[in-house]
């Protein structure tokens, strides 16, 4: 089945990698793929499998190409691909790799202090000695008193691995450390015919927050300068254009070199001979500008300055607001483009040009600007005397912060940045620079449409956006409204910065009219209640580019910053807090693979694949830490810990499923099926609440006969992963029944709960969120009464035992029949509350617990 593809937002013109899902049994794992463009024109493509169905057929495939135009494009399984005219090649000899794209030859050493030794275009060396650099302080900024010492370090490459070697795409992974700390992984992406390399830099912070303060982190590249100073050029991006300068300027002089010379220099063309001796005889008297700096210290402004040489004063250049983070350094015979994606959003950042008047200049992209105060990751308060579990639980009751001494530790968190180096054969024209900066900040991506993705049967039960009736349109409008609200709030509240960009806030403070950025557990959200899933399913349903970009930034953040990648809590994440790592609640519900896998399959992003692999054995973290240590009455057995069947098992199941379908991992499959069968064998199934998991065998102790539910169990990806597992039809007796029982009974009348479990359920909350469970059960069981219950609970939050919200206020309409401009009378008629509609709205439309406009009193 051929698949139509479109550009997510802007068209390509450069290398792109994307993913496509396939229905079970449709594509064999050894099938080739061909790509065609407008008019059936063949486009070279490289393909590989990223996931398989249980029967071995392809579930997700990944593809790399350099599509030349707007499209549309079509992917054809079973057809041989066209070969690129200039394939990318990788050769290893004498401890070095040579990666040739047909346009640029890149030399990479197996180990040492250079990430890239050199890059040449048309036989001319342009780039030399790309290094990772850092600055480390032994104390915070000097305003706290005392003397601060800075230490410079160059990153050392310890291992280089070729992950792909063409013919369209090559990937080289380098691993090492920034001096004696900050382990990093860098991937270099090369495409056939390309003049650029995309660089993805990920590092783990492994310092001591009391004495290690990162004062600068960057990538520095040497640029060979051959041209006369007046034929050398510097370009630095502003918000909508570029600073356009020559190292030795010929404009604005007292003596005019001529209009053609001036125009040529501004355009970046060779100035040619300067005929007027009044000018040519005095060139040595025109200062050469050696150094430039663009400093983006906040999301609202950058500073620009330049100087003639070290030891002389800086001259201020008119500054601006938000730099696009891209620059050029070189001359008419070639040079280097360099930049950082989301430059201003990830502040404090900086671009440096040094020694532009010398034979070898340097361009530096700072991920953390050395102009900013040193990075301070110390915990944000002194503990307030909360030295016992009892005191900490008291603190939870007032600020919602789950504090514990020593747990607000950043040791083990990570961050990923995306950079670009581009080797030009001449100073680029302004439209080309602008296009390259835009492509760096919004990399082109090919995507299949929502209907095509849904037809493949991936990611459980959901449906493309549907505005076919007024009621359906009202729900879609509310979903769009809520996304637009968060997009506006991110901008208005400036949710940007090195560690913060990608996250959102947890709760609003109506009195101060701001989000509770400084109140314990109400500040940064850290995936609480699964905004990641809301965004990804909203993208799957709509195909909106803005939703994708928002979700992408959140995935980059929550998968890196909110999760531990080494140390005592490796594989766990931190609950919501003023600092992303501040809460003592370290749990799988934050590090869950369910939040990363959609992005991974849509993009085949290798770094996200690393994160998915990291949590494949996350159950081992229970041996080191009991997540319920402050509440548990019984003992904690590290070899057979009690695992929650909601947030915990849902995360484990997502990790095991992903590992199995990506790698064919039998251990992951065995643990997934074993625990599913164990849940089915428990007398109360999911209603049991928790069960002991034997870490050695991956099996639950099924002897526990208890009823215990939590309002959080089903709001961290459990419904999504259970829906997907049931759709797979796996051999796990009793599992579907156990899940349907939970879905039926959570919102059932207390009398019904007591009749089936022996007592009414307690701790019931988040009513609207759980209406999708009732909807799912209604769809699976064909129960119209349960479907009606789902709709009623969707609109009216009745029966919440823990929280209050606007849906608990008396509406202006009757619960049994909603009438109004957005919800016609037919909504509650039997045909509309069919099981299909209940499942569609329960699982697809209320991922974000949306309200229907026009049916609640004015607040």
Closest-CA residue to 598 (of 529, 640, 551, 635): 551
pLDDT of residue 815: 34
Neighbour count for residue 397 (Cβ, 10 Å): 7
Q: Which residues contact 596 (CB under 8 A, 6 or more apart)?
A: 555, 559, 608, 611, 612
pLDDT of residue 810: 52
The Cα 492–Cα 487 span in angstroms is: 9
Phi, psi of 653 (to 5 degrees): -65, -40
> Contact 17/63 with Cβ under 8 angstroms?
yes
pLDDT tens per residue across span 488-516: 999 999 999 999 999 999 999 999 999 99
Q: Stretch 578-603: mean pLDDT, rounded?
A: 97
The Cα 632–Cα 672 span in angstroms is: 26
C-alpha distances (whole Å) from 530 to each of 108, 506, 554, 558 are 41, 11, 11, 11
Determine what percent of the chain is predicted with pLDDT higher than 90. Answer: 87
C-alpha distances (whole Å) from 316 to each of 244, 289, 295, 372 are 15, 13, 12, 18
Which residues on neighbouring strands pair with residue 416, listed in sequence order?
202
DSSP single-letter state for residue 826: G
> Contact 341/331 with Cβ under 8 angstroms?
no
Beta-strand relationship, 124-137 and 150-165? antiparallel
pLDDT tens per residue across span 210-257: 999 999 999 999 999 999 999 999 999 999 999 999 999 999 999 999
Q: Which residues contact 615 (CB under 8 A, 6 or more apart)?
A: 571, 588, 591, 592, 593, 651, 655
Please check the confidence at residue 531 and state whether its pLDDT lies above 80: yes
Which residues on neighbouring strands pair with residue 462, listed in sequence order?
none
Determine what percent of the chain is predicted with pLDDT higher than 70. Answer: 94
Q: Which residues contact 837 (CB under 8 A, 6 or more apart)?
A: 787
Please check the confidence at residue 652 and state whether its pLDDT lies above 60: yes
Phi, psi of 808 (to 5 degrees): -90, -5
The Cα 495–Cα 580 span in angstroms is: 13
Please check the confidence at residue 834 and state whether its pLDDT lies above 80: no
How many CA atoms within 13 Å lie on the side-chain side of 532? Answer: 31
> Contact 135/152 with Cβ under 8 angstroms?
yes
> Contact 452/4 with Cβ under 8 angstroms?
yes
Closest-CA residue to 11 (of 87, 62, 69, 95): 69
List the end-to-end C-alpha distance of the chain, in Å, as a whole number: 51
Please check the confidence at residue 634 and state whether its pLDDT lies above 80: no
Phi, psi of 46 (to 5 degrees): -115, 135
Q: Exposure string (b/e) for 463-491, b if CB count within 10 Å is 16 or more? A: bbbbeeeebbebbbbbbbebbeebeeebe
pLDDT of residue 603: 98
Q: Stretch 301-319: mean pLDDT, rounded?
A: 97
pLDDT of residue 633: 77
> What crossing angle do the helices spanning 718-728 and 647-663 adopt, rounded to 10°?
40
Q: Stretch 434-451: mean pLDDT, rounded?
A: 97
The Cα 800–Cα 313 span in angstroms is: 66
Neighbour count for residue 524 (Cβ, 10 Å): 30
pLDDT tens per residue across span 66-125: 998 888 999 999 999 999 999 999 999 999 999 999 999 999 999 999 999 999 999 999
Which residues on neighbouring strands pair with residue 653, listed in sequence order?
none
pLDDT tens per residue across span 700-748: 999 999 999 999 999 999 999 999 999 999 999 999 999 999 999 999 9
The Cα 44–Cα 583 span in angstroms is: 49
Q: Which residues contact 207 (CB under 8 A, 6 or more apart)?
A: 181, 182, 214, 377, 411
Name the 3-class secondary structure at 228: coil
The Cα 771–Cα 816 span in angstroms is: 16
Closest-CA residue to 128 (of 218, 219, 201, 224): 224
Which residues on neighbouring strands pair with residue 354, listed in sequence order?
362
> What crossing angle do the helices spanning 606-614 and 545-560 adopt, rounded to 10°?
40
The Cα 612–Cα 601 span in angstroms is: 11
> Contact 706/689 with Cβ under 8 angstroms?
yes
pTM: 0.94
Name the 3-class secondary structure at 78: coil
The Cα 133–Cα 586 span in angstroms is: 32
Q: Stretch 1-26: mean pLDDT, rounded?
A: 93
pLDDT of residue 831: 28
> Contact 419/339 with Cβ under 8 angstroms?
yes
Q: Exposure string (b/e) for 713-748, b if CB count within 10 Å is 16 or more? A: bbbbbbbbbbbbbbebebebebbbebbbbbbbbbbb
The dihedral region occupied by 265, where left means phi > 0, alpha psi between -120 and 50, and beta the remainder, is alpha
Q: What percentage of the chain's residues is helix, strand, coil (to nearest 5)?
A: 30, 25, 45
Element (H, E) at 59: strand 58-65
The Cα 574–Cα 372 span in angstroms is: 27
> What crossing angle do the helices spanning 545-560 and 531-542 adopt, rounded to 10°?
150
C-alpha torsion sign, points 646, 649, 653, 659: positive
Please check the confidence at residue 850 and state whether its pLDDT lies above 60: no
Q: Which of 45-54, 187-196, 813-822, 848-857 has the lowest mean pLDDT?
A: 848-857
Q: Which residues contact 690 (CB under 8 A, 6 or more apart)?
A: 642, 643, 644, 645, 648, 704, 708
Find how far residue 443's CA is from the centre of its chain: 13
The Cα 444–Cα 17 span in angstroms is: 9
Please check the confidence at residue 818 and state whether its pLDDT lies above 70: no
Element (H, E) at 642: strand 642-644
The dihedral region occupied by 451, where left means phi > 0, alpha psi between -120 and 50, and beta the remainder, is alpha
> Contact 495/483 with Cβ under 8 angstroms?
no
Neighbour count for residue 701 (Cβ, 10 Å): 13
> Contact 726/735 with Cβ under 8 angstroms?
yes
pLDDT tens per residue across span 274-284: 989 999 999 99
Residue 141's pLDDT band (cuts 50, 70, 90): confident
The Cα 541–Cα 535 span in angstroms is: 10
Name the 3-class secondary structure at 545: helix
Find how far residue 484's CA is from the centre of its chain: 19
Alpha helix ranges (H) inside 281-405:
389-399
> Contact 523/574 with Cβ under 8 angstroms?
no
Residue 806's pLDDT band (cuts 50, 70, 90): confident
Which residues on neighbouring strands pair with residue 90, listed in sequence order?
99
C-alpha distances (whole Å) from 694 to each of 637, 642, 674, 733, 754 are 10, 9, 11, 20, 31
């Amino acid at each position: 089945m051929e698949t139509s593809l479109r550009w997510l937002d802007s068209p390509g013109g450069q290398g792109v990698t994307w993913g496509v899902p396939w229905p079970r049994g449709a594509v064999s794992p050894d099938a080739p793929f061909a790509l065609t463009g407008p008019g059936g024109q063949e486009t070279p493509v490289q393909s590989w499998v990223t996931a398989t169905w249980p029967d071995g057929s392809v579930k997700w495939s990944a593809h790399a190409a350099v599509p030349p135009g707007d499209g549309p494009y079509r992917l054809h399984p079973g057809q041989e691909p066209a070969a690129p005219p200039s394939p990318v090649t990788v050769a290893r000899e004498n401890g070095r790799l040579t990666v040739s794209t047909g346009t640029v030859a890149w030399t990479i050493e197996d180990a040492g202090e250079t990430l890239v030794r050199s890059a040449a275009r048309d036989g001319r060396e342009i780039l030399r000695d790309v290094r990772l650099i850092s600055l480390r302080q032994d104390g915070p900024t000097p305003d706290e008193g005392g003397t601060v010492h800075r230490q410079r370090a160059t990153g050392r490459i310890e291992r280089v691995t070729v992950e792909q070697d063409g013919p369209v795409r090559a990937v080289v992974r380098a691993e090492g450390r920034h001096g004696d700390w900050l382990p990093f992984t860098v991937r270099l992406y090369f495409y056939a015919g390309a003049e650029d390399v995309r660089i993805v830099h990920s590092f783990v912070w492994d310092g001591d927050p009391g004495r290690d303060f990162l004062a600068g982190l960057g990538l520095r590249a040497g640029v060979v300068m051959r041209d006369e100073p007046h034929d050398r050029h510097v370009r630095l991006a502003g918000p909508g254009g570029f600073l356009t300068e020559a190292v030795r300027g010929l404009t604005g002089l007292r003596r005019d070199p001529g209009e053609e010379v001036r125009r040529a220099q501004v355009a970046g063309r060779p100035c040619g001979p300067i005929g007027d001796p009044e000018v040519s005889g005095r060139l040595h008297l025109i200062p050469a500008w050696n150094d430039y700096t663009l400093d983006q210290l906040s999301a609202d402004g950058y500073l620009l300055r330049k100087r003639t040489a070290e030891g002389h004063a800086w001259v201020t250049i008119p500054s601006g607001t938000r730099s696009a983070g891209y620059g050029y350094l070189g001359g008419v015979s070639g040079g280097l483009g360099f930049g950082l994606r989301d430059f201003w959003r990830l502040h404090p950042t900086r671009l440096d040009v040094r020694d532009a008047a010398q034979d070898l200049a340097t361009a530096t992209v700072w991920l953390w600007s050395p102009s900013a105060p040193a990075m301070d990751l110390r915990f944000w308060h002194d503990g307030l005397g909360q030295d016992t579990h009892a005191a900490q639980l008291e603190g939870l009751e007032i600020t919602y912060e789950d504090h514990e001494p020593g747990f607000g530790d950043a040791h083990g968190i990570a961050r990923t940045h995306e950079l670009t180096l581009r080797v030009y054969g001449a100073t680029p024209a302004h439209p080309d620079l602008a296009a390259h900066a835009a492509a760096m900040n919004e990399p082109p991506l090919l995507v299949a449409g929502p209907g095509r993705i849904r037809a493949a049967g991936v990611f459980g039960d959901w449906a493309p956006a549907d505005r076919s009736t007024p009621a359906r349109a009202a729900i879609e409008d509310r979903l769009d409204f809520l996304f637009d609200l968060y997009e506006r709030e991110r901008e208005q509240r400036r949710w940007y910065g090195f560690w913060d960009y990608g996250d959102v806030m947890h709760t609003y403070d109506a009195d101060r009219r701001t989000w509770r950025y400084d109140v314990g557990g109400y500040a940064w959200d850290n995936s609480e209640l699964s905004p990641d899933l809301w965004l990804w399913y909203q993208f799957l349903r709509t195909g909106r580019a803005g939703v994708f970009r928002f979700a992408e930034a959140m995935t980059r953040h929550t998968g890196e910053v909110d999760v531990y990648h080494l140390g005592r809590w490796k594989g766990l994440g931190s609950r919501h807090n003023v600092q992303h790592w501040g809460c003592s609640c370290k749990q799988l519900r934050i590090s869950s693979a369910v939040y990363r896998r959609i992005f991974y399959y849509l993009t085949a992003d290798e770094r996200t694949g690393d994160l998915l692999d990291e949590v494949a054995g996350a159950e081992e973290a229970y041996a080191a830490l009991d997540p319920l240590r402050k509440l548990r009455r019984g003992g904690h057995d590290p070899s057979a810990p009690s695992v929650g069947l909601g947030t915990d098992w849902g995360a484990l199941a997502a990790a095991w499923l992903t590992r199995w379908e990506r790698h064919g991992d039998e251990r992951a499959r065995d643990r997934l099926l074993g625990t599913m069968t164990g849940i089915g064998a428990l007398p109360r199934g999911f209603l049991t609440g928790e069960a002991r998991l034997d870490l050695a065998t991956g099996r639950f102790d099924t002897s526990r006969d208890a009823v215990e539910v939590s309002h959080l169990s089903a709001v961290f990806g459990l419904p999504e992963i259970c829906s997907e597992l049931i759709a797979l039809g796996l051999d796990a007796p009793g599992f579907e029944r156990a899940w349907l029982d939970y879905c039926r009974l959570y919102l059932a009348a207390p009398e019904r709960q007591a009749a089936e479990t022996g007592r009414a359920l307690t701790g019931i909350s988040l009513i609207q969120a759980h209406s999708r469970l009732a909807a799912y059960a209604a769809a699976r069981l064909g129960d119209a009464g349960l479907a009606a219950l789902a709709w009623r609970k969707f609109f009216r939050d009745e029966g919440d035992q823990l929280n209050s919200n606007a849906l608990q206020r008396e509406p202006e309409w009757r619960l049994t029949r909603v009438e109004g401009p957005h919800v016609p009378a037919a909504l509650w008629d039997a045909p509309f509350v069919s099981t299909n509609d209940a499942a569609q709205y329960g699982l697809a439309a209320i991922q974000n617990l949306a309200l229907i406009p026009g049916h609640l009193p004015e607040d």
